[in-house]
């Protein structure tokens, strides 16, 4: 193949610049990828002759040649793959690094944070074998007179329960009733029987177990409990309950015993 034949194959004029050669070659490659039957070997040979690509690639080495061909023919797929990998990493890395405490105590309701750190420190002191304890306050307000929570608070509370990240909840009456409607609380009868705590200062909150129709204890109103009273302010009603899907039943039972035994005694 001589230069004139190479120009004919690519459809170029004698005075065609390197830029025009590149554009014409890319157009022919695009037509081939779109299914048009052209002689790929002949086109590559013509391009090689006009640009001296073979001599350049021989100097660059086989690795550079491979890289150039891959990038030319699969550039779009490579970019798409990089985007997909980046998206997967953005989802997977937070899951890997997600903090999963050994015990979570959530004050959920119309509460403001008081001495929440002392509550956390006291539990940690009484439960040294429990390495990671999270005590948090989720403020849930109601919308007007509807009795419904604002959308953000309701979504956060539901996510906490659905993802099994809830252990012990201390709530106001509205929040407690909301959780009970979703059948998201554990009945406390067996736990209380094992612990045998002094509940004379507390009010037991009963409800019907949906699966059996039996009357069960689902909460304990610990209003007046110094440990809880110091932790938050706002609503006097503080109903302690346990998430049905808690991952840490034994740790929860020990923490319940500590909380129910008011440290002011």
pLDDT for 109 beyond 50: yes
Which position has the higher pLDDT, 235 or 240?
240
> Cα dist. 105→9, 34, 165, 242 in Å?
76, 61, 10, 9
- Output the six-digit token pair for 162: 């659905």
- Say what the pLDDT of residue 208 is: 93
DSSP states of 108-139 = EES-EE-SHHHHHHHHHHH-TT---EEEEEEE
- Say what the pLDDT of residue 53 is: 59
- Say what the pLDDT of residue 251 is: 96
- Output the six-digit token pair for 211: 């699966």
Which residues on neighbouring strands pair with residue 216, listed in sequence order?
Answer: 207
Query: What is the reported pTM?
Result: 0.61
**Nearest alpha-carbon partner for 209 in 240, 239, 244, 238:** 244
pLDDT for 162 beyond 60: yes
Which position has the higher pLDDT, 98 or 36?
36
Fold for 103-260, please state it. D-Maltodextrin-Binding Protein; domain 2 (3.40.190)
Average pLDDT over residues 91-100: 57
Q: Which of 14-18, 125-129, 150-154 has the highest mean pLDDT?
A: 125-129
- Say what the pLDDT of residue 34 is: 84
pLDDT for 64 beyond 70: no
Average pLDDT over residues 134-155: 67
- Output the six-digit token pair for 118: 């002392």
Q: Where are the domains of the chain?
A: 3-96, 103-260
> 122 pLDDT band (50/70/90 cuts)?
very high
- Say what the pLDDT of residue 145 is: 47
172-191 pLDDT per residue, tens: 998 899 888 888 999 999 99
Please answer whether residues 185 and 244 qualify as being in contact, where contact means their C-beta atoms are separated by less than 8 angstroms: yes
């Amino acid at each position: 193949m001589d230069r004139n034949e190479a120009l004919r194959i690519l459809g170029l004029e004698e005075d065609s610049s390197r830029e025009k050669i590149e554009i014409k070659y890319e157009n022919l490659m695009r037509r081939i990828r779109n299914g048009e039957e052209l002689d790929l070997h002949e086109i590559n040979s013509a391009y090689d002759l006009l640009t001296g690509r073979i001599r350049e690639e021989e100097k660059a080495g086989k690795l550079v040649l491979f890289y150039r061909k891959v990038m030319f023919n699969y550039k779009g797929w490579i970019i798409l793959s990089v985007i997909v990998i980046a998206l997967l990493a953005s989802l997977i890395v937070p899951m890997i690094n997600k903090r999963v405490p050994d015990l979570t105590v959530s004050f959920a309701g119309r509460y403001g944070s008081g001495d929440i750190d002392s509550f956390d420190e006291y539990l940690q002191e009484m439960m040294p074998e429990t390495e990671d304890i999270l005590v948090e306050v989720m403020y849930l307000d109601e919308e007007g007179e509807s009795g419904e929570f604002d959308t953000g608070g309701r979504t956060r509370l539901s996510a906490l329960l659905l993802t099994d990240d809830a252990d012990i909840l201390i709530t106001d009456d509205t929040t407690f009733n909301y959780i009970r409607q979703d059948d998201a609380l554990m009945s406390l009868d067996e736990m209380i029987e094992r612990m045998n705590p002094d509940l004379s200062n507390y009010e037991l909150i009963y409800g019907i177990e949906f699966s059996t129709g039996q009357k069960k204890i689902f909460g304990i109103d610990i209003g007046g409990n110094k440990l809880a009273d110091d932790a938050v302010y706002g609503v006097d009603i503080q109903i302690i309950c346990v998430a049905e899907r808690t991952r840490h039943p034994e740790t929860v039972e020990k923490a319940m015993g500590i909380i129910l035994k008011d440290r002011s005694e």
